[in-house]
Structure 1
Amino acid sequence: MNSNIFKAHIALLGANLIYGANYIIAKGIMPDKINPNAFVLIRLVCCVALFWGIKFIFVKEKVAREDFLRLALCGLLGAAANMLFFFHGINLTSPIDASIIMTATPVIVLIFSFIILKERITKKKLIGITIAGIGAIFLIIYGNKAAGTSSFLGNLFVFLNASCYGLYLVLVKTLKKKYNAITIISWMFLFGLLFVFPIAINDFRAVNFDAFSTNTYLVIGYVVLFTTFFAYLFNVYALNFVSPSVTSSYIYLQPVISFILVSVYAYILMKDEYAQDINLIKILSCLMVVIGVYIISKPPKKLA
């Protein structure tokens, strides 16, 4: 393994460690310190500033007028709806449930690719979709009966988040062939901010910033700088040296990290509300989703 590929794998590991920790870290300050809508607005404002700063300095690239509609749609799905559904979902449900449901994103991408791009679905991929789909849907429904911090509505919101993000990944494919990734993400976050602003501005005004502790600011900083900014740059860097299938396979790490952190919160930090978040049903649901996504992602055997 050459040094660039090794660094790419380190970047992917770092990105998915960040994502895996985000489920429980972001949940920690909602809704007591901040409303999910206000949290999303803060995140988008900061991300627009960060990515447009990079674009102005390093990426001198103009966008054709005919592509703005698609960029706006990407902003609606990949930033606004995606973030709103995720933050409202994680506010209501277990970090473990959310991380398991999110691993179904490659399945959703495959389904939308079939519907929109007319990409063929093989029998093997259909089996993978079925297995992963059963695991994810069962977990969503089980959230209504599970003990701990699970929630049917929260699980449904996370699934809608994954669906919006999966549709965004399909729609953005043509743009990726024409523009630098920084250009796309800069415009996507800007349009996302425009969509979220009228929804979230009243919630933002209602935030009591005087009640924020150091921990609150650290959590917001983590979500903005690490989960959005650095994790995205790590993924972009990795894609220069490894295939998209390798990049997507690292999503399997996220439930593992979530399981570990919830266990730490429940049994070391004695956070009783998380004590019942880990059970056999969730582990089996996780395995079904992972197996299904593995079947879908596994490349076909080359003929000799």
Structure 2
Amino acid sequence: MYSPKLFSHLAIISANVILGINVPFTKALLESWLSPFGYILSRSVSAAVIFGIIGIVFVHEKIKPKDLAIIALGGLMGFIISQYLTALSLQYTTPIRFALIVALSPIIVMLEAAVFIHEKIKLYKVIGVCFSILGAAVLVLNAHQDTGNINEVYGIILALISISAYGLYVIIMRDISQKYRPLTQMKWLFLFTTVMALPLNQGSFFSQPIFTGAPWYVYAEFSFLIVFATILSYLLIPYGMHRISATNASVYMNFQPVVAAIVSIIMGQDVFTWDKPLAAVLVITGAMIVSLGGKIKIGNKKPCLNLKAQI
């Protein structure tokens, strides 16, 4: 039986699994084949062309001028700033350590949501977030990686700013996601991000190594980046956000460290240890508490923490 809310949760989960896979892929691409600028411009232009064609043929939804401005702001925060800083961060830190910072997203989104849209923070969500972050912490703190000369502090700061910008994107686009179809939103979002990114082109975009010749697996990683991590994930997120809160959506970001760790092991960037399955259990448990906790009554009331009153 079709359940719109269930499919909304599955959409957000799927998007975060894709983004988790994309973390080590992006790291590999940035090491030798793409610059941070090339990373965001190639994603933005490809998505703008594909969503533009689909929008012209299949989508004829009118959108208010003020909502176009909101989408433009969302594109600036959630793609230009967030993804550019992600690319920079991954040049200074490892995929799994970057994923640890992503695990802090629910807390950052809860704080931002409390400040900007006065969203209350319920106790069960706090408990769920703690489980998920504990899982991510177990995963990362027990990872055995040779960091070499990587400037971890700089990479972590960039990652924190990146996820803060993405958290604002989730909040900014919440109402837009309820008013318009995902294809409509993405058509305009990537049009705006392309317009923002193109002036930054220094004429060296097509001289990057990936466009002058690369092994087949590099093009496979690049294709995944464009088709799945850009087009599909950015469709799934607004679809899911149509029926679930910004905080719920952000909690599912904790799937990314687990997925990133698994892919890193497969790619030879890490080794299997006992902490990986334990982290997966904790992360999934946290997500389930956040998703289902509102249906569980404690006494006659549901405890609620109004974070806005405490800030």
> Please, what TM-score do these two structures have when normalized by structure 2?
0.75
Give the % identical residues: 26
Q: Which blocks of at least 5 consecutive residues in structure 2 are unaligned? A: 302-311
Is 203-212 or 49-58 further displaced after alignment? 203-212
Query: Equivalent of 1:299, from 289, 293, 306?
Result: 293
CA distance in 2, matches of 1:54, 1:219: 24
Corresponding residue for 2:69?
69
Alignment deviations for residues 245-300 of structure 1 (CA, whole Å, 9 cap, x no partner)? 7765543332122222222333xxxxxxx3589897x9999999888877766634
Q: Is the 8 A contact 1:29 1:219 kept in 2?
A: yes
CA distance in 1, matches of 2:108, 2:288: 14
Q: CA deviation at 1:195?
A: 2.0
Q: CA deviation at 1:17?
A: 3.2
Matches within 5 A, 1:62-101: 62-101=62-101
CA distance in 1, matches of 2:115, 2:260: 32
Q: CA deviation at 1:197?
A: 2.0
Matches within 5 A, 1:153-302: 153-208=154-209, 209-235=211-237, 243=244, 250-266=252-268, 274-275=269-270, 299-300=293-294, 301-302=296-297
Q: Secondary structure at the match of 2:179?
A: coil
Is 104-113 or 43-52 further displaced after alignment? 104-113
Q: Is the 8 A contact 1:41 1:197 kept in 2?
A: yes
Corresponding residue for 1:47?
47
CA distance in 2, matches of 1:265, 1:112: 35
Q: CA deviation at 1:34?
A: 1.6
CA distance in 1, matches of 2:120, 2:240: 27
Alignment deviations for residues 42-99 of structure 1 (CA, whole Å, 9 cap, x no partner)? 1100011111222212221222223332222111101211110112222322111122
Q: Secondary structure at the match of 1:28?
A: helix
Amino acid at match of 1:299: G
Q: CA deviation at 1:3?
A: 5.4
Distance change in 2, residues 1:297/1:153 (3 Å):
farther
Q: Which blocks of at least 5 consecutive residues in structure 1 are unaligned? A: 267-273
Amino acid at match of 1:152: V
Q: Is the 8 A contact 2:45 2:194 kept in 1?
A: yes
Q: Is the 8 A contact 2:105 2:167 kept in 1?
A: yes
Q: CA deviation at 1:164?
A: 0.7
Corresponding residue for 1:269?
none
Distance change in 2, residues 1:153/1:206 (3 Å):
farther
Is 13-22 or 213-222 further displaced after alignment? 13-22
Q: CA RMSD in A?
A: 4.0
Distance change in 2, residues 1:176/1:234 (3 Å):
closer
Distance change in 2, residues 1:89/1:289 (3 Å):
farther
CA distance in 1, matches of 2:122, 2:11: 32
> Please, what TM-score do these two structures have when normalized by structure 1?
0.76
CA distance in 1, matches of 2:155, 2:204: 20
Distance change in 2, residues 1:91/1:289 (3 Å):
farther
Q: Is the 8 A contact 1:19 1:254 kept in 2?
A: yes
Q: Is the 8 A contact 2:77 2:169 kept in 1?
A: yes
